[in-house]
Chain A
Amino acid sequence: MFNEGEIVLKLYVGFIKNSVQRVITYRTNVWAKTLGKFLYLYVQVSVWIALYESNNISQNMRGLQQIILYVVINNLLSCLVEFNAIDLLNQKIKTGDIALDLMKPFNYMLYIFCYGLGDIIINVCFQAVPMLLFSMIFWGFSIAEYSLILIFICSAMLSIVISFLFAYFIGILAFWFLVTWPINMATRAIYKIMSGVWIPIWLFPGFLKKISLCLPFQSIYYAPAFILSQPVLDKVETIRLIEGQFVWIVIMGGIVNVAWHCGRKKLVIQGG
């Protein structure tokens, strides 16, 4: 006989399978997004190469190879870490569907997570793998030590959790805001800067570095990307980054819990 654990596992695996199928049916979108990611990577690397070649680089600046590696890793990470759950959550809350969903006997957050995994699995297969091969051929992709890969994998796992929690939080803001796309737009812009996905945080002036520490974004992209791209293992910095990731998981977890609780109460009061 099946035990309860097996049934629950099958349920969530089913969600993931459904999600993957959902993404695959929009094949043109997958190809278009993949091409878009390649274009973006090309622009970024071109910019950094041009910057390095047009200027005198002082000795204490990091090398071009490290920045290219950093940029490539960030693009690979973006396949792993981006959750489009925001749109789904927004929609469900606005249409009121969520009231029905919440009556079902599964953990809603896990459900949304599995929904997002569909995109991620497809992205990793169709975007990350080709981009990695492409980068290896055109720009090289040399990791300093093998131990970095292990630490990177751990860091990336933490990143996925933080990224999901943040996306979930923004998604449930729909409980309070009817029109959420401006919030999404502004958040994405701040995210792009403060996560280091565009400009590495080691290039930030002091005050900006401090600001980025007050936000979870650098724990999503900068932490793992820095760890894997460093030419020499910087133990102090690596430990600091990983610790930061744990801290942010706790903080975001707390924020999401509070917001979710308040949101559900609002739903009940509205007679949803």
Chain B
Amino acid sequence: MKSKLEYRLGFCVEILANFIMLLAYYLGIWVMFQNFDNIDGWTYQETLLLFNMNWLCYSISGFFLWAPMLNIGNYIQSGEFDSFLIRPMNTLIYLVFRQFQYTFIARLIMAIIFFTYSMQIISISWSPLNICYFVVSLMSGIAIHAGVLIIIGAISFWTIQNEAIGNFLINSDSGLRTFADYPITIYGRVVQAILIFVVPYAFVNYFPTEFFLEKESFYRFGYLHILTPVAAVVVITIALVLWKVGMRHYNSTGT
């Protein structure tokens, strides 16, 4: 009985913590736009949508993959990983379903709530084509983040500990992912190229929203937004290949 109450209390605390975190971020952006009208042509609501789309895709993919991928190093060191290999199920799928990170649920719920809010305060003309593209780009965004997480996990097969590279790529304060919180036009060409061709975070939120909001800068990049699902497929493919290679490497080096 007591543990159920503790569980629910703990869950409420997590919801509250995630809420405070997102609220604090909103507050900062709000203060920013109290003093400035726009950032490179993007208004307050548009910038919020950019951030929320990034956060939503990250939260959804993280719900399935964050805990298993970031912990592979620990599983390998403790020897647990070998017990996973014996299972008749695909190891990756097993890892996902074995550890459903319930603590990410709070983050996911808050992400959805805030994303819905940011969608409400923006004006997009919805045509059947737009709705279609919206669904595709959302799924692509989730796929790109999922691919990045799988790659981070696969790296463990060589380096055991992947915390450093994980933080570099996805950390909410200092990682590459936070570049996508703002329109990528504010960065230099080299950084833009990295965000488009190396770690395609630009396809998660920037190109889709640029298209929906019919921004002028749209024409700067041509019709790159069409490549969003392509980018997703590329990232997932690389991720799964790296995973396979990593597993083979792990098996061959002996346990």
Chain-A contact segment, one of B11-19, B49-57, B223-231: B11-19
Residues of B within 8 A of A103 (CB): none
A185's nearest neighbour on chain B, judged by CB, is B17
Chain-B contact segment, one of A15-23, A105-113, A198-206, A229-237: A198-206
Residues of B within 8 A of A205 (CB): 31, 34
**Contact string, A51-88, partner B, CB cutoff 8 A, digits 1/0?**
10011000001000000000000000000000000000
Would you call B41 an interface residue if the criterion is a C-beta within 8 Å of the partner chain's C-beta atoms?
yes
- Give the CA-CA distance A189 to B181 in the complex, in Å: 16
B178's nearest neighbour on chain A, judged by CB, is A43
Would you call A182 an interface residue if the criterion is a C-beta within 8 Å of the partner chain's C-beta atoms?
yes
A57's nearest neighbour on chain B, judged by CB, is B36
B12's nearest neighbour on chain A, judged by CB, is A182
The smallest beta-carbon distance between A92 and chain B, in angstroms, is 21
The smallest beta-carbon distance between A186 and chain B, in angstroms, is 4
- Give the CA-CA distance A61 to B185 in the complex, in Å: 24
Are B28 and A193 in contact, CB atoms less than 8 angstroms apart? yes
Binding site secondary structure of chain A: helix
**Contact string, B174-197, partner A, CB cutoff 8 A, digits 1/0?**
111011011001110001000000
Are B16 and A32 in contact, CB atoms less than 8 angstroms apart? no
Please report which residues of chain A, range 217-256, place their CB below 8 angstroms from some CB of chain B when the two chains form the complex: none
Would you call B165 an interface residue if the criterion is a C-beta within 8 Å of the partner chain's C-beta atoms?
yes
Residues of A within 8 A of B182 (CB): 43, 46-47, 50
Chain-B contact segment, one of A33-41, A93-101, A154-162: A33-41
The smallest beta-carbon distance between A25 and chain B, in angstroms, is 12
Are B21 and A42 in contact, CB atoms less than 8 angstroms apart? no
- Give the CA-CA distance A237 to B38 in the complex, in Å: 30
Residues of A within 8 A of B179 (CB): 39, 43
Knowing A179-B10, A203-B34 are in contact, say whether A190-B24 is a contact too (CB < 8 A): yes
Cross-chain pairs A/B with CB under 8 angstroms, 19 sampled: A32-B168, A33-B164, A36-B174, A36-B175, A42-B187, A42-B191, A49-B186, A50-B182, A50-B185, A51-B32, A54-B40, A55-B36, A55-B37, A55-B38, A189-B20, A189-B21, A189-B23, A192-B173, A193-B31
Task: Please list the residues of chain A having a beta carbon within 8 angstroms of any beta carbon in chain B.
Answer: 28-29, 31-33, 35-37, 39-40, 42-43, 46-47, 49-51, 54-55, 61, 179, 182-183, 185-186, 188-190, 192-193, 198-199, 203-205, 208
What 7 pairs between A and B have smallest CB-CB spacing?
Answer: A36-B174, A32-B164, A182-B17, A189-B24, A50-B186, A189-B21, A186-B20
Task: Please list the residues of chain B having a beta carbon within 8 angstroms of any beta carbon in chain A.
Answer: 10, 13-14, 16-18, 20-21, 23-25, 27-28, 31-32, 34-41, 161, 163-165, 167-168, 171, 173-176, 178-179, 181-182, 185-187, 191
